[in-house]
Structures are given as structure tokens and as C-alpha cells.
Amino acid sequence: MIGQKEWAIPEGYIPDGSTGPAPEMVSHETICILNTTNKDATVEITAFFPDREPVGPYEKTVPSERTKHFRLDEFDEPEEIPRGEPFATVIESDAPVVCQHTRLDSRQAENALLSTIAYPGGGED
């Protein structure tokens, strides 16, 4: 069992514009969550913005011994995350999970990628 129950991703930006076939080459951000435990994880994702109140939580489930890669451009409840605006996310889970953040940017003709393990909370923070 590997992981933490809280994670943060300060970088968030869904590029407004894409080149290439949908859906895989449409510019997007993904939060990849891995649950190696023997129970399903209920995950709450909150989005933070520069100039307005946080939005969420977006509720998701990551079943036991499964990984889910959530595309942020497909979030719609309670509201969509707008393209072309900066944001950040916090992930809270009721079971230990591991989170990684990835962006595919295809605004120009050839795509660009970034990725990083998210920042794990835990301990006395």
C-alpha cells in the first residue's frame, strides 16, 4: 500500500485550441490516480482560481487495485473548468492513493507534454 490521502497540483491550464484528431489529441489536462489498496477510494477534487471562490468538490471513485486517469476538460458537475484560464487542484481521498499531473498541449501543430508527480500532503501539515 503506497500513497497519501491529500495531494496538490498548483499548475492547471487547459489550452484553448487544438490540432489533431479528437479526443486523444485535443489539448487537455489529466489527473492520474492509482489506488493499490484493497478498498475503493472516494476522491474529492477541488479547483482553485486566481480571483474567485474554489469550485467543487468533483466526486470520483477509484476502485481497489485500479487506476483512473481523469481528464479535467470532461469535468461538468458542479461546473466545467474553463479553458484558457489558470487554476490549481487539490485531491482528497479516503484511502491512500498516488497522483500524477499531465498536460497535452496541441495548440500548435505538434503536441507538447508535461508531467509531474503531484505534491503529497500528510504528516502534520
- Is 121 an interacting residue with respect to its own copies (CB under 8 A)? yes
Q: Which cell numbers hold the place of 57? A: 468538490
- Is 120 an interacting residue with respect to its own copies (CB under 8 A)? yes
What is the footprint of its own copies within residues 74-113 (CB under 8 A)?
84, 86-88, 90, 96, 98-113
Nearer to its own copies by Cβ, of 32 and 57: the residue is: 32
Q: Using an 8 Å Cβ cutoff, are 104 and 25 in contact?
A: yes
- Is 55 an interacting residue with respect to its own copies (CB under 8 A)? no
Which residue, 11, 28, 32, 31, is CA-closest to 106? 28
Q: How far apart are the first and last CA of the chain?
A: 21
- Is 42 an interacting residue with respect to its own copies (CB under 8 A)? no
